Amino acid sequence: MEGQVRDFGGRVLFFRSASAAGHLKVVQCLLDHGASVNNTTLTNSTPLRAACFDGHLEIVKYLVEHKADLEVSNPVFNAARDGKLRLLSKLLASKTREEVASLMSEKTNGATPLLMAARYGHVDMVEYLLDYCSASIEVGGSVNFDGEIIEGAPPLWAASAAGHLKVVQCLLDHGASVNNTTLTNSTPLRAACFDGHLEIVKYLVEHKADLEVSNRHGHTCLMISCYKSHKEIAQYLLEKGADVNKKSVKGKFVLFFLVVNRSEVTHILEEDDIKKIPLVSQCECIFQ
């Protein structure tokens, strides 16, 4: 009967649906009547994964007690991404230290559990993964920001870009490299500058972030702050000694990014700062 119902999309879907919807008594009934605890949908999703995804702890416990297979990284990944700490600790409770470390290094959709926890600002989860799960603090991966996939992003970069100050503080307290970059050489400081997170910018600079590291296009933190019209950040970077005389790969200076974005130069750059920029560059900007 199990095979027949499965072939027609029956019992396995009922079982997964009951797990996903949080109906413990239905789950118990199906198992009592012989449903396979590890049966999957056509996309290989188990009842345990469904319960993990929707945060039904009691069903997770019941399925695990009835021999649900934990050797799937997706439930762990989902719990980390969604900040479900109690659920994650339950999933890992029966694992050896080596097995937990392996799950922490495994990537789902290009990202580790720690990277996702940092991306979505779950500071308690980040602390747990670092303190109890041996998660690597520097391993980069793929994260989505505004529809764009950023490759090789370390957890600190993701937290900085998303504006999660407490996660940034936690990661630095645990020894994260403040200047670790993505594959395009974007630093956590540049990510914070791009999205206008002033407090994170200040915190990173106070912890020795390099103001002058540029991305693959040669764009510095000051350039991107000016381009995005983040006035307070640009002013702060200037106060900390950011170089207005740096050039991008295409030979553009900070003044160019201000003019392109129709910013009022004098509201961000002081006269002395403008004087540091070569006259030829100032003339180029006037005729943009």
- Give residue-wise pLDDT tens across range 264-277: 444 555 545 545 54
- Give residue-wise pLDDT tens across range 141-196: 999 888 889 999 999 999 999 999 999 999 999 999 999 999 999 999 999 999 99
Same domain? For 85 and 203 the reply is yes
Task: Give dist(CA 73, CA 78) in Å, integer.
Answer: 9
Task: Give dist(CA 173, CA 160) in Å, integer.
Answer: 14
- Here the tokens at position 134 are 């041996």
Same domain? For 36 and 60 the reply is yes
Task: Give dist(CA 123, CA 107) in Å, integer.
Answer: 20
Same domain? For 46 and 108 the reply is no
Same domain? For 53 and 162 the reply is no
Same domain? For 80 and 195 the reply is yes
Coil, strand or helix at 151: strand
- In the predicted structure, residue 219 carries a pLDDT above the cut 90: no
Coil, strand or helix at 252: coil
CATH of the domain at 100: 1.25.40.20
- 262-267's contacts with Cβ under 8 Å and 24+ in sequence apart are 263/226, 263/229, 263/231, 267/231
- Here the tokens at position 146 are 């505004």
Looking at the structure of the chain, the number of domains it has is: 3
Same domain? For 197 and 103 the reply is yes
Final residue before a domain boundary, out of 17, 50, 68: 68
Final residue before a domain boundary, out of 177, 210, 243: 210
- Here the tokens at position 173 are 């307290």
Same domain? For 87 and 182 the reply is yes
Task: Give dist(CA 218, CA 235) in Å, integer.
Answer: 20
Provide the pLDDT confidence category of residue 250 given band limits of 50, 70 and 90.
Answer: low
- Here the tokens at position 72 are 């799937």
Residue of higher predicted confidence among 10 and 149: 149
Same domain? For 223 and 272 the reply is yes
User: Which amino acid type is present at position 41?
Assistant: T
pLDDT (0 to 100) of residue 4: 31
Q: Where are the beta strands (DSSP E) in the chain?
A: 141-145, 148-153
Domain that holds residue 45: 1-68
Is the pTM higher than 0.85? The answer reads no
Final residue before a domain boundary, out of 210, 228, 260: 210
DSSP 8-state code for residue 145: E
Same domain? For 4 and 81 the reply is no
Same domain? For 123 and 195 the reply is yes
Mean pLDDT of the chain, nearest integer:
82
